[in-house]
Amino acid sequence: MTQAPERYMGNGLPRKEDPNLVTGKANWTDNIKLPGMVHMSMLRSPFARAKVTKLDVSAALERPGVVAAFTGADLAEEWPGGVPCAAVVSEEQKTPFFPPIVTDEVRHVGDVVAVVVASDRYAAQDALEFIEVDYEPLPAIVNMEDALKADSPLVHEDLGTNECFTYTANVGNTDELFDRTDDSGDAGAEIRGPEIQGQGDTDEAFRQASVVVKERYIQQRLLPTAIEPRAAVAYPDPGHGGYVIYSSTQVPHLAKIVLSLATGIPENQIRVVAPDVGGGFGSKLNIYREEILAVVLAKTLGVPVKFVEDRSENYQATIHGRGQIQDIELAADSEGKILGMRVKLLDDMGAYLQLLTPVIAISGGAMFPGVYTFDNFSIEIKGVFTNLTPTDAYRGAGRPEACYAIERAMDSLARELDMDPAEIRRRNFYEPFDEPTANPAGLMYDSFNLQGALDRAIELADYQSLREEQRRRRESNDPVQLGIGFATYTEICGLGPSHALAGLGIGGGGWEVASVRMLVTGKVEVATGTSPHGQGHETSWSQIAADVLGVTPDDVEVLHGDTGIVPFGRDTYGSRSLAVGGIAVYHAANKVVEKGKKIAAHMLEAAEDDIEFEGGKFSVAGSPDQNVGIGDVAGAAYLGNDLPEGMEPTLNETMTFDPPNFTFPFGAHICVTEVDTETGAVKIRDYIAVDDCGPVINPTIVDGQLHGGLAQGIAQALYEGVIYDEEGNLLTASMVNYMIPGAPELPNYTLDRTVTPSPSNPLGVKGVGEAGTIGAPPAVINSVVDALSPMGIRHIDMPASPMRVWKAIQNAQGKPSGDRQEDASLGASAADIKQGGDA
């Protein structure tokens, strides 16, 4: 690799993105105003399931400012494809037609019944009240286990079932393993009698005694809650024909394809722009019915159409995350070595399939074995339709679910064997490796050194002193008990090799594109197919290009988020941007240098093999005075009047990088909590995270990603959870009653890194966007349960709110704890099953 005298990679440069953002000059979608622009507002269903028996928009049309109003029947021909789902995870998968506006039946609270277009937002909103609509409410399907019963009503009558798909995978011999050791009776762990192998050698027999841990865990639904709600502006493109859509999206390139499939408008007549985007976390990795509607209305009315959702619409109509019931069994020998794992999941689809809904649990499915090596693994995943908001990717997308289950189960196993939770993890770790190594589900982990990360975390936490403090508090019956919780995790990043994505049922397209152009003035343009919304790609990609080309990051301008400017791209999600898109930048910049060498050789009248490149200068080996700067080479390439025979003018190189494998960052987290046994309040006293995402391009940005990820993981563990009632009403429908944590609720973090390069790409980078969200939930809950374990408490469901913790303590002490509203969508909670508490 060529190298600048100053290396920018590895440097925590302040971000290039910031100046616009701190001065109020950002370009949010909601800022866009165009001549003749109208606003659309949706009439949304107040029922989870109902027939629409009467619908008349004519009175709304009479209201001041109203331009148009439509029912689903009016526009049905405009969306032949409906809202598309890109995932097919089994041959039998049921994919319902998902119309932007329903025509007969509403299927979740917030489903769209009609649309009004008016001169401004207030007028559109006012007019909704004048739409005449009658509903015949039907019993709602809210709970996944009920939905699968034979007599359940159906979310989609035409599909004949509420089961979207069943996916199974079986490696090794789990059934035999569990049938041998499992009494399939009560939930909970048990130590089985010895497997007699030798004769009369009880020591030997006890050494092989196996333990089976059976647990049920709940992944509550979560609201992704990007602080910028969704927004879109669609308009007929006056210059070129076709349509331009500005959208607050993570995926302008995917949106271009999906909008074409949905509407039948040819793909080459659609340009999608993602301007500044105020957070996504997976919720904007989707193409929504409102975006399709905006395009359809721009086409129908011939004017710019704007849609901006308010927060309650965001909570009803933007995808939810998680929503799983997890049954997990682990079998181990008496030394704590895992022999096998069996997993059964129910995964809540909601009422329709959004872009990736069915694939979320499946992509996480292969991650259930976590950082532990063993042979026998089986998993069964059922996708279930309910009359609730559709689920899809939310930060981590399948991986936090998997990590939580295995990391909670590891603690159960440790408890059954009376073993230290760090020790049981260590006994099952892979030995460090740096070449791809198969996990029990067949994924090829790229490189691990788990021992290094765990050692460092234990050192930073001063683990032994913590255990001593815990012992003292226990002995003195301190009302505030200390908990120490571990999570050692890996995640799958860098989505991904196209062939592997095809295997997951989403076709492929795991590559990423970058173009690097040297302009005639010596400046550099990098066009990337990634589409950042807070991740700082402009800064990091500039650092990569600057180092390869021997310029400064300020010389580099990064272009992104506009299909008119960057024609091909696969956008930003799944912690893929650096490990795929950043590598494409690296390769494209190197191609520029390679072509530059040929030109420099020609200019310096030397052999190409003798040309060296360093610090932005091409020079002849052995005579450094004979040199030419990359800017001059760019100028010569641009003018094109004196180039090597047959060479195309310009220094403008493109790379489409399709990685050979995913990347697998890993790490060790330790959460130290103080749990007030009188109030149930949990305070995170310390959070130690040692993460290994390979070499780091910008450590400041990486730490920021970790902070934010940890915050969202802690939020799932302690604070957040969607609550539906039995009728499918969303009780957490605004920020007033859905608690995202503010500054007082969250701790500072103790972060450190180990560096194990990935063999999947030349920079060895892995990805970091979701690490915190994956490691934190089990670390926090393991810590809370650890604090309370002397009381016999073995599990508390997320979010471990003061009320839940207090109830668990009351129940453990045989005291009444009263009732409270719990979410109706996920069945009896694990804690209730485990502890026999009240419902």
Partner 1 sequence: MRRIQVSVNGVAYEHEVEPRLLLVHYLREGLNLTGTMVGCNTSNCGACTVLLDGESVKSCTLFAVQADGHEITTVQGLQTNGDWHPMQTAFHEQHALQCGYCTPGMILASVSYLKENPNPNEEDIREALEGNYCRCTGYENIVKAVQQAAGQTS
**254's tokens:** 């995917």
Q: How far is the CB of 227 from ligand FES (least distance, A)?
A: 4
Tokens 């002397």 belong to which residue? 790
Instruction: Output the CA–CA distances (angstroms, integers) from residue 207 to 210, 336, 369, in the order listed.
Output: 9, 10, 24
What is the total count of residues that contact partner 1 (CB under 8 A)? 57
As a whole number of Å, the end-to-end CA separation of the chain is 62
Interface of this chain with partner 1, residues 714 to 743, rule: CB under 8 A: 734-736, 740, 742-743
> Do the beta carbons of residue 410 and residue 338 sit within 8 Å?
no
Phi first, then psi, for residue 754 (nearest 5°) are -115, 160
Name the closest residue to ligand FES (Cβ): 227
Number of residues that this document lists for the chain = 839
Q: How far is the CB of 493 from ligand FES (least distance, A)?
A: 21
Q: Select the residue interacting with ligand FES from 236, 358, 497, 534 (CB under 6 A).
A: 534
* Closer Cβ to partner 1, 64 or 836, answer by number: 64
The closest of 560, 563, 547 to 259, measured between CA atoms, is 563
Burial class for 357, CB neighbours closer than 10 Å (0-12, 13-18, 19+): buried
Interface of this chain with partner 1, residues 108 to 147, rule: CB under 8 A: 120, 122
704 touches partner 1 by CB under 8 A? yes
* Rounded-to-integer distance, Cα 470 and Cα 461, Å: 13
The one of partner 1, ligand FES, none whose footprint includes residue 15, by CB under 5 to 8 A per kind, is: partner 1
* Closer Cβ to partner 1, 18 or 554, answer by number: 18
Tokens 């007929």 belong to which residue? 236
Pairing of strands 112-118, 38-44: antiparallel
* Rounded-to-integer distance, Cα 510 and Cα 663, Å: 13
What is the total count of residues that contact ligand FES (CB under 6 A)? 3
Q: Select the residue interacting with partner 1 from 403, 710, 771, 780 (CB under 8 A).
A: 710
Q: Select the residue interacting with partner 1 from 290, 562, 653, 703 (CB under 8 A).
A: 703
741 touches ligand FES by CB under 6 A? no
Give me the DSSP letters along 174-195.
HHHHHHHH----SSS-EEPPP-
19 touches partner 1 by CB under 8 A? yes
* Closer Cβ to partner 1, 153 or 699, answer by number: 699
Give me the DSSP letters along 406-431.
HHHHHHHHHHHTT--HHHHHHHHBPP
> Do the beta carbons of residue 834 and residue 794 sit within 8 Å?
yes
* Rounded-to-integer distance, Cα 503 and Cα 292, Å: 28
* Closer Cβ to partner 1, 120 or 134, answer by number: 120
Q: Which residue stretch of 105-113, 276-284, 469-477, 636-644 sits at the interface with partner 1 (rule: CB under 8 A)?
A: 276-284
707 touches partner 1 by CB under 8 A? yes
Phi first, then psi, for residue 652 (nearest 5°) are -150, 95
Q: How far is the CB of 534 from ligand FES (least distance, A)?
A: 5
* Closer Cβ to ligand FES, 522 or 704, answer by number: 704
* Closer Cβ to partner 1, 447 or 801, answer by number: 801
Q: Select the residue interacting with ligand FES from 12, 242, 279, 704 (CB under 6 A).
A: 279
22 touches ligand FES by CB under 6 A? no
Q: Select the residue interacting with partner 1 from 228, 512, 692, 720 (CB under 8 A).
A: 228
- 401: helix, strand or coil: helix
* Closer Cβ to ligand FES, 283 or 673, answer by number: 283
150 touches ligand FES by CB under 6 A? no
Interface of this chain with partner 1, residues 322 to 361, rule: CB under 8 A: none
Q: Which residue stretch of 10-18, 135-143, 483-491, 689-697 sits at the interface with partner 1 (rule: CB under 8 A)?
A: 10-18
227 touches ligand FES by CB under 6 A? yes
Q: How far is the CB of 576 from partner 1 (least distance, A)?
A: 17
> Do the beta carbons of residue 115 and residue 300 sit within 8 Å?
no
* Rounded-to-integer distance, Cα 290 and Cα 152, Å: 31
Q: How far is the CB of 751 from partner 1 (least distance, A)?
A: 10
Instruction: Output the CA–CA distances (angstroms, integers) from residue 259 to 82, 234, 454, 648, in the order listed.
Output: 10, 11, 46, 36
Q: Which residues bind partner 1 (CB under 8 A)?
A: 12, 14-15, 17-26, 28, 30-31, 33, 120, 122, 225-229, 276-279, 281, 310-311, 533-536, 700-701, 703-705, 707-712, 734-736, 740, 742-744, 746, 748-749, 772
Please give the residue ranges that form the binding site for ligand FES (CB under 6 A). 227, 279, 534
